[in-house]
Structure 1
Amino acid sequence: MIARLDTMLGRRSGLRALTAAYAATGILQGIALAFLLPLLRHLLDGDVAAALPWLAAAAGCAALAAVILWFAVNFCFRVAVEHLGDGLQRAVGDRIANLPLGWFDGGRAGQVTGLLTGSVARVTSIPNVFLQQMTIAITTPATVIVATAFVDWRMALALAASTPFAYGAYRLAQRASAREQVAETRSYEEVSSRVIEFAQAQQVLRASGQARDGWRRLESELDRNRADTVRVLNRQLGPILGFMVTVQIGLAFSAILGVGFALSGTLDAATLIAVLVMAVRFIEPLGALGAYGSAIRQAEQAVDDIASVLETPALPEPAKPRLPADASVELRDVRFGYRDRPVLDGFDLTAAPGTLTALVGPSGAGKSTVLRLVARFWDVETGSVRVGGVDVREIPTAELMARVGMVFQHVYLFDATLIDNVRVGRPDATDAEVRAAANLARLDDVAARLPDGWDTPVGEAGGLLSGGERQRVSIARAFLKDAPILLVDEATSALDGENEAAVTAALSDLARDRTVFVVAHRLSTVVNADRIALIDDGAVRELGTHAQLLAEGGRYAALWNDRRRAAGWRLAQPDHAQPRA
């Protein structure tokens, strides 16, 4: 486990040094016990003067063990917090930041939450909870057996005889609960997901009168998690009890054997007393070993869970990086799908620098997927996506991201001030640059309405702002980033009239002199595009300007006519209905 953690951290965790210190402590404690034999012999003979050097030696070993243990215990907190806790959280965060966006499909919130709280916490308990007990539980009995062998090999053999049986019972306890502990971990992740879901969905649940049903769903996951935990404890109970019984039988056997040797005259009283004291000290740490067996297995499972994320392949960086020549974008014979569901097949589309290309078509046709492939959120299965004539897989990720700005429908804001959320677009920007970008996005009107202006916290996920206001923050980030390629996905689809007008005007300013791809269900927002691509069944079916596509009388024209007719729909009161009194 230690070697694996060192590999995961990319450096030494400090656990080896801790183990060595704890081992030295256990050995010194065992040696201190071994000095009891000559000490007791001299005391029983009435020779106190001869006993004093052995007493001093035992006290010296015990004191040295205490000093080493004190330094080790203080160092273990540094190992737990800095090396393991901080190191693993950073390693998981770095890996997540470089994983394909597809990895996050299927509800990863609970897994990530479980990793950063439960799994990392269990790993940090290794140095300061049971590594000390485990190491001393092995080294002290081993030292006692060796010391006893110098006094009476028969008693040493009696003490060692129970070790294989105890070890077998210990391993059985570990294996008995392994499968259930995996299920318990998955159940804990599911509970985390349900808690997050329950908190985020309060508006929907209450609006639909299903707040209690939402709670019942969480309750069922809590019940399942509780059942999994009880099942783990039940599976461990028998083997752990067997381990403890085996250890106690070993002590009783050694005591009976020692008394028999003493009665037969082959073992003197001082040696018997010393050996029995050492036997008790032999048994005590072994009992702790059984108690910590479950915690060790949980820590091993936590390491496995963290490793499963750290070992997930990230999007590969190019061995021989190349830089784009300009802001042109080309998708050539692209095939791509989500798991077993194909989305794009034989997809071809080219955008010259400084042009605006609108993507329209039915839901699920792959419009948003095109934008995400340009930003290399995923890699294509076949074909290529090129920016400036270079395959995006040959462009370093940082270079590609510097050239691409994004304004998506669902905007995430951090629980920080309004101005700090704009600064996310370019963290090294000056205050003047941030304010200028925010003003271009018509965000100054929003700041004027907030109690503390630009320094007003926007709440978790921007909950204190409206959807249109959050969208303006996203546009301000894009202005601040000033990337030559802009990807806009459904930016105005769910906005009210005032916000739509402000966002549309800001996007028009933002699109100037940039290569722009825009996805929109409202066709009125894309009529001035340089080219409109109608996407259906994974490919571009029609391509041209608004006027050209209308003249062709194809799918786009039909879609345009349908939307125009739908725009005239309104809710009206039937003629025969009477107003309420």
Structure 2
Amino acid sequence: MTSPCSIFRNIPQQIVGSLIQPFYASIILFIIDWRLALAAIIGVPLFWAITIWTDRIYQRVFADLHRARSEATAVMLQQARGAAVLRGNPDSKVARRYDTAMRGLAAASIAMSVKGTPASAIGAIVVESGQVLLIAVGAALYLGGSVSAATLLIFLFLSLTFYQPIQELSGLAGYRLNQQQIAAKIGEVWDAQTLSEPAQPASPSGTTIEFDQVRFGCGEETTLHEVSFRAQAGELTALVGKSGAGKTIIASLVARLWDVDSGAIRIDGADVRDLGSASVTSLVTAVFQDVYLFDDTVRANLALGRPDATDAEIWDALVAAQCDDVVAALPEGLDTVLTEGGSDLSGGQRQRLSIARALLKNSPILILDEAVAAVDPGTEDRIQAALSTLLAGRTVIVIAHRLSAIANADRIVVVDRGTVVGSGGHDSLLLTCDEYRVLAAVQGLEPNQNRSNNAFEKVDQR
């Protein structure tokens, strides 16, 4: 795959050189003999006209080529992530997307060559025609005695410094348009709206979280509609609902990964936009279902939120997260370098490491997004024990699909299609909220049912 840096390298310098050198060369040629100079440059206007035409052709074919490259790259990455599934289903429709994307890329590459090469060739012929005309005119003037053989020979040599850069400029047309396509992609990133930063960040003393008529959308699609609820300081608030209801987006907005389109999210009465990114980052820690570990040491991965943490503090966090035995068994302990994504550890081990990371950061607000999903019962027990320590004394927002795991939460907020449709305790929601009643019925939960298997019980620290 071509690196953008290699494409950008020296191209501006070459373009400038290809413009300046013919300009100076033409001045010298006119000084030597204006008749020969006119013969030399007579093809330049036609060359520029063809260059403009060539640019239009290249602009179309390079746009198609970049689109095909993007689609092929996206499919390739998707298939690499799902290689294990596709290996067992090689004839599936999803597996055939790769062949389709590659054929599209090949077709776009061929179209670029078929449409672009003839245009470039015509431009080169036009430039060369000027040199042919120069030789013909020079020969006629020499035979007529108007110029000497020495003058004609010098003129022919100097004309090379005029034609060669123009030919290089013709060859750079494709590269220049390729640059423009890449620059446009980079521009889309740079032009993306950034989070505003307050001149004087507010300093909340509490951790009560309030959503006030929040609307949020991705592109033209509105994902959240007038979402309002309150998560009291020191309490556990659970978000439940069907997949795609908007729960993860709500949690991400608390961490200010994005700003709301309208309404407000407040922490202790202060809008998160008035707190500043640094303050929100220090207040909020998230533990997600899909844990990502970097290609670095265990110590570096755990100390992301507290770079100055001592080894003793790291080990204390590991003990509390039920993960000290995992790290102790690694070849170099805390200095063991993990593979990218932590693929050399099990899902439960990665999850407990992320809990240790959250414990070490020690933020007063905690977001748990399906933190105990997709693990075996034995691992889930250890994660639940670690979570009990992590939740103590914090304001917690939990996202969970298993209602039995959050039935004892201080408040349960039911989300459906980007809207809050119910809020309260488990038993009251069974009586007042149709959506929650459907979720509970599917999972076999009833009012006053024994809910001892609660993943989110706080440790009493009194």
State the TM-score, normalizing by the size of structure 2. Answer: 0.89
* 2:18 maps to which of 132, 137, 140: 137
Report the residue type matching 1:375 in the other structure: A
Higher relative contact order at CA 8 Å, sep ≥6: structure 1 or structure 2? 2
Secondary structure of the residue aligned to 2:234 is coil
Report the residue type matching 1:491 in the other structure: A
Distance between the aligned counterparts of 2:101 and 2:432, measured in 1? 56
Deviation at 1:332, TM superposition (A): 1.0
Flag structure 2 segments of 5+ consecutive residues without an equivalent.
450-462
Secondary structure of the residue aligned to 1:479 is helix
Report the residue type matching 2:21 in the other structure: T
Alignment correspondent of 1:396: 276
* 2:7 maps to which of 97, 122, 138: 122
Q: Which moved more, 1:546-555 or 1:294-303?
A: 546-555
CA contact (8 A) 2:422 2:433 kept: no
Distance between the aligned counterparts of 1:451 and 1:286, measured in 2? 62
Matches within 5 A, 1:170-209: 170-206=51-87, 208-209=88-89
Alignment correspondent of 2:369: 489
Alignment correspondent of 1:472: 352
Alignment correspondent of 1:437: 317
Flag structure 1 segments of 5+ consecutive residues without an equivalent.
1-113, 568-581
Question: Once the two structures are superposed, what CA deviation does each residue of 1:413-436 show, in whole Å capped at 9, x if it has no partner?
Answer: 122333332222323322222222
Q: Which moved more, 1:362-371 or 1:383-392?
A: 362-371
Matches within 5 A, 1:111-510: 118-123=3-8, 125=9, 127=10, 130-206=11-87, 208-210=88-90, 216-510=96-390
Deviation at 1:350, TM superposition (A): 1.1
Deviation at 1:473, TM superposition (A): 1.5
Distance between the aligned counterparts of 1:481 and 1:468, measured in 2? 20
Report the residue type matching 1:238 in the other structure: P
Distance between the aligned counterparts of 2:36 and 2:311, measured in 1? 79
CA contact (8 A) 2:214 2:261 kept: yes
Report the residue type matching 2:265 in the other structure: V
Alignment correspondent of 2:407: 527
Secondary structure of the residue aligned to 1:410 is coil
Secondary structure of the residue aligned to 1:122 is helix
CA contact (8 A) 1:183 1:228 kept: yes
The structure number with the bigger radius of gyration is: 1
Indicate how the Cα distance of structure 1 residues 307 and 549 shifts in structure 2: closer, same or farther if over 3 A, else same. Answer: closer
Q: Which moved more, 1:482-491 or 1:406-415?
A: 406-415
Q: Which has the higher helix share?
A: 1
State the TM-score, normalizing by the size of structure 1. Answer: 0.72
Secondary structure of the residue aligned to 2:258 is coil
Between the aligned residues of both structures, percent identity stands at: 36
Task: Provide the alpha-carbon RMSD of the alignment.
Answer: 2.6
Deviation at 1:298, TM superposition (A): 1.4
CA contact (8 A) 2:227 2:420 kept: yes
How many correspondences in the alignment? 448
Deviation at 1:190, TM superposition (A): 1.9
Secondary structure of the residue aligned to 1:303 is helix
CA contact (8 A) 1:120 1:302 kept: no
Distance between the aligned counterparts of 1:326 and 1:470, measured in 2? 31
Indicate how the Cα distance of structure 1 residues 120 and 277 shifts in structure 2: closer, same or farther if over 3 A, else same. Answer: closer
Distance between the aligned counterparts of 1:212 and 1:236, measured in 2? 36
Question: Once the two structures are superposed, what CA deviation does each residue of 1:135-178 show, in whole Å capped at 9, x if it has no partner?
Answer: 33333322222112222222222222222112222222222110
